[in-house]
């Protein structure tokens, strides 16, 4: 009996839908990780990752584990016991960074904002002033748990001026909205394959700039994780090809194919596509009186955190969408559980068809769950928006 999963339209917080070419790449027969053909594939992957991160960083490669491992890789390689890390927390993933930094033995200084709001540069400036010499300032560019879109440039300037390293989580932004690693002076950045890159989950693209690499070279202690020790991984992915682990071949096929698709579409065109579909969805929701959770002016194109109308049963709506339409959306996390739905329009999932489907499905399901609405209004508003009216 072969595995045949149900057909789903993935509009949750990830994974997103995957292009048939990526699925075909996954099914290609394996080759060895030291095969010359695989080494050529590694080189092309590094090249296309650099283009996607908008960086010239030599140390740009996929970590052989999911995005959370990319987060851990950045922190365990840059932090040594007793060093100070300023970590910005306005959602689940900032909280996770704190947990990891503490496991590194770092002294963690929090900069907090309400979930759904962004971190203000002034707050980071104060923390930099008060904390003594910080080694790292870390924050989340696109908070998947809240839908908030964090501006980076001003904070980057403050971090650079304080001679700290700027670590950015771009898991839900890379490939869906601008992530300009070099221009924005990001020292270390990581992402995941299963969001706007539209690959399967399993790898974490990562890039380290010259200042971060310098910090690696100057470490006094070994990195606490052997598997995530970037100095070793760098040599495995570099010209020396020093054996470290066995690269997950099929996942690397898939990532490369996904990156080729991004190159073919063009990054700017892809960003514009994500923006257009987000705006249409938002217009449609507004037409039936439903708003987004994240602060105005800071709402992600890639992940919409939708306020659940009062009295509507969170889980009942999600179950109905899945059962009736094969449509997956996500629930809220932590304090936002039961308060928001998370509707991703990422990578291959960001299409006009999916915007219209999501809205018409909600128009069918919400009235049964006690929310009165003007049927057709959401779809109509979104379609007008898509038509440029």
196 versus 333: smaller Cβ distance to a second copy: 333
Minimum gap (Å) between residue 89 Cβ and a second copy? 15
Residues linked to residue 188 through DSSP beta bridges, in sequence order: 167, 208
Calculate the CA dihedral of residues 204, 165, 75, 173 and round it to 10 degrees: -30
Give the closest residue to 367 by CA, choosing from 279, 290, 282.
290
State the first-to-last Cα distance of the chain, in angstroms, to the nearest integer.
51
Q: How far is CA 254 from the centre of its chain?
A: 17
Token pair belonging to 365: 């399901």
38 versus 325: smaller Cβ distance to a second copy: 38
15 versus 91: smaller Cβ distance to a second copy: 15
120 versus 314: smaller Cβ distance to a second copy: 314
Minimum gap (Å) between residue 36 Cβ and a second copy? 8
Minimum gap (Å) between residue 44 Cβ and a second copy? 10
55 versus 350: smaller Cβ distance to a second copy: 350
**Residues near 52 by Cβ (< 8 Å), separated by ≥ 6?**
174, 175, 179, 197, 205, 259, 262, 267
Give the DSSP letter of residue 193.
Answer: S
2 versus 387: smaller Cβ distance to a second copy: 2
Minimum gap (Å) between residue 24 Cβ and a second copy? 6
Residues linked to residue 327 through DSSP beta bridges, in sequence order: 9
26 versus 312: smaller Cβ distance to a second copy: 26
Q: Residue holding tokens 């990319």?
A: 70
Minimum gap (Å) between residue 341 Cβ and a second copy? 13
Residue 151: count of CB within 10 angstroms of its CB:
15
Residue 305: count of CB within 10 angstroms of its CB:
29
Minimum gap (Å) between residue 129 Cβ and a second copy? 29
Minimum gap (Å) between residue 254 Cβ and a second copy? 7
Q: Report helix, strand or coil for 81.
A: coil
Dihedral of CA 135/141/145/146: which sign?
positive
Token pair belonging to 136: 């790292």
């Amino acid at each position: 009996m072969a595995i045949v999963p149900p057909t789903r339209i993935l509009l949750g917080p990830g994974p997103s839908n995957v292009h048939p070419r990526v699925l075909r790449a996954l099914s290609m027969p394996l080759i060895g990780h030291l095969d010359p053909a695989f080494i050529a594939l590694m080189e092309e992957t590094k090249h296309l990752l650099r283009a996607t991160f908008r960086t010239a960083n030599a140390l740009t490669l996929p970590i052989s584990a999911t995005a959370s491992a990319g987060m851990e890789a950045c922190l365990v390689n840059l932090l040594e016991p007793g060093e100070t890390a300023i970590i910005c927390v306005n959602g689940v993933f900032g909280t996770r960074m704190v947990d990891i930094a503490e496991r590194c033995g770092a002294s963690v200084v929090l900069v907090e904002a309400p979930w759904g709001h962004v971190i203000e540069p002034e707050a980071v400036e104060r923390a930099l002033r008060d904390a003594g010499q910080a080694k790292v300032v870390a924050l989340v560019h696109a908070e998947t748990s809240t839908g908030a879109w964090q501006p980076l440039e001003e904070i980057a300037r403050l971090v650079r001026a304080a001679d700290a390293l700027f670590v950015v989580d771009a898991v839900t932004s890379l490939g869906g909205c601008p992530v300009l690693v070099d221009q924005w002076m990001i020292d270390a950045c990581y992402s995941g394959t299963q969001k706007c890159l539209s690959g399967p989950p399993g790898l974490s693209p990562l890039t380290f700039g010259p200042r971060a690499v310098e910090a690696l070279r100057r470490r006094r202690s070994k990195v606490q994780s052997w598997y995530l020790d970037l100095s070793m991984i760098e040599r495995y992915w570099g010209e020396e090809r020093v054996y470290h682990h066995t690269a997950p071949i099929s996942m690397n096929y898939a990532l490369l194919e996904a990156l080729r698709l991004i190159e073919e579409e063009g990054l700017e065109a892809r960003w514009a596509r994500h923006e257009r579909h987000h705006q249409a969805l938002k217009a449609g929701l507004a037409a039936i009186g439903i708003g987004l959770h994240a602060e105005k002016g800071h709402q992600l194109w890639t992940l919409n955190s939708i306020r659940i109308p009062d009295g509507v049963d969170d889980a009942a709506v999600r179950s109905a969408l899945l059962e009736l339409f094969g449509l997956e959306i996500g629930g809220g996390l932590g304090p936002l559980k039961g308060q928001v739905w998370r509707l991703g329009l990422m990578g291959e999932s960001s299409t006009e068809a999916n915007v219209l489907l999501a809205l018409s499905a909600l128009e069918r399901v919400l009235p049964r769950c006690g929310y009165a609405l003007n049927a057709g209004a959401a779809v109509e508003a979104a379609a007008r928006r898509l038509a440029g009216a």
